[in-house]
Amino acid sequence: MQKSQVTIKHIAQELGIAISTVSRALQNHPRIGLKTKERVFEVAKRLNYVPNPAAILLKKNKTNTVGVVFPYLQEEFFSQAITGIEDVISAKGYNVVISQSKDKLERENRAIKSFISSRVDGVIASISAETTQYYPFKELENHGIPLVFFDRVPKDVAVNKVRGNILEAAFEATIFLAKKGFSRIAILNGPSNLEISNERLEGYWKALKSLNLPIVQQYIKSTDLTKDSTSKKMEELLLLPEKPQAILCFNDYVALFAMQSCRQNGVIPNTDIHFVSFANLPITAYLDNPPIASVEQFAYKMGEQAATLLLKILESNEESEIIPEEIIIDTELIIH
């Protein structure tokens, strides 16, 4: 019930031994005798001793903490990934601190600054929809903090990345729609600063080409992932003389927004216009007319992989120059 922190000094005093002996005893150091260790542990437990992380950090210069900054915690894709990260990280005795950027650059930068000043050992990040510059992340590098990008990775930068095989997934999804008999296939893509947007587009292109279908510029739209922007782009598609028969959406949220926009314009989603999306969120299971298919990206597994990669870097020899690694997780098209 003691409010003032119990330190190893108190334990040492109580037992009449040296502070260093207590420290080593608690670490199970071989140079400390068994009886001494036992006595130390007994007193430590009785006094409710908790090591002071500040003092340890000061000596070891290691926080055993990794920072995670993702756009939205409530997106099932990210929260599943966080669970994967947490499970791997905490099994190794590390802690996780989580921040959400809400797709805002400013919040993302704040999170990074906070990670630097709290001296996290490493960072896992999924960049915001607004992020076009790699610069803020460069700060982490300057402070020697390892960084692994997750899913939303920046383009043209040699960094550690863990992401799904989006190109392949978009290709398969497009082929799936074509095989269903649709020739007018549109794409409601994400912002072009995200590499994963470009990959979707490439997969979509490749599929159309392989099917000898024309690439129609009006069928290619990109949104900033907000509801407003998505509805607007969807309405543009609806106003075309030849409405698309099917639409490939950046993710389930974009699909939800677009489907709602359809309904408001008298078009019945997945009857008049068919949707396929990415992420395969559980909520789509509760819709009466869910997208006809969704690309499962295995967020939990992706999170595990990102955490494993980061830990590997953290536990590798600090000296050794690290070559950025890229891990690509296979996806699976789930037909509803």
Partner DNA sequence: GAATTGATTACAAACATTTGCGCAAATTTT
Partner DNA sequence: AAAATTTGCGCAAATGTTTGTAATCAATTC
Contact residues toward DNA (CB under 7 A) are 5, 7-9, 16-21, 23-24, 26-27, 30-36, 49, 51-52, 54-56, 58-61
- Which long-range contacts (C-beta less than 8 Å, at least 24 apart) are formed by 230-234? 230/188, 230/254, 230/257, 230/258, 230/261, 231/257, 231/258, 231/260, 231/261, 233/188, 233/258, 234/188, 234/258, 234/261, 234/262
CB of residue 63 to DNA, shortest distance in Å: 13
The position carrying tokens 């500040």 is 54
Structure tokens at 297: 């990206």
CB of residue 306 to a second copy, shortest distance in Å: 17
CB of residue 9 to DNA, shortest distance in Å: 6
Interface of this chain with a second copy, residues 91 to 130, rule: CB under 8 A: 95, 97-98, 100, 102, 110, 114, 116-119
| 283 near a second copy, rule: CB under 8 A | yes
Judged by CB under 8 A, the residue of 135, 286, 317, 321 near a second copy is: 286
Judged by CB under 8 A, the residue of 51, 132, 202, 211 near a second copy is: 51
Q: Which does 35 bind (CB under 5 to 8 A by kind): a second copy, DNA, none?
A: DNA
| 33 near a second copy, rule: CB under 8 A | no
Q: Which is nearer to a second copy, 76 or 224 (CB)?
A: 76
CB of residue 191 to a second copy, shortest distance in Å: 21
Judged by CB under 8 A, the residue of 27, 48, 210, 218 near a second copy is: 48
**Could you give the dihedral angle defined by the CA atoms of residues 219, 165, 199 and 177, in that order, rounded to the nearest 10 degrees?**
-10
Q: At 221, give phi and psi (nearest 5°).
A: -125, 150
Choose among 161, 204, 186, 166: nearest CA to 262: 186
Crossing angle, helix 227-238 and helix 252-264, to 10 degrees?
A: 50
Q: Which does 158 bind (CB under 5 to 8 A by kind): DNA, a second copy, none?
A: none
CB of residue 43 to DNA, shortest distance in Å: 12
Q: Which does 21 bind (CB under 5 to 8 A by kind): DNA, a second copy, none?
A: DNA
Q: Which is nearer to a second copy, 67 or 203 (CB)?
A: 67
Structure tokens at 321: 């120059």
Judged by CB under 8 A, the residue of 13, 46, 73, 326 near a second copy is: 73
Q: Which does 32 bind (CB under 5 to 8 A by kind): a second copy, DNA, none?
A: DNA
Residues of this chain that interact with a second copy (CB under 8 A) are 1, 3, 5, 48, 50-55, 57-58, 61, 63, 65, 72-76, 78-80, 82-83, 86, 90, 95, 97-98, 100, 102, 110, 114, 116-119, 142-144, 256, 259-260, 263, 283, 285-289
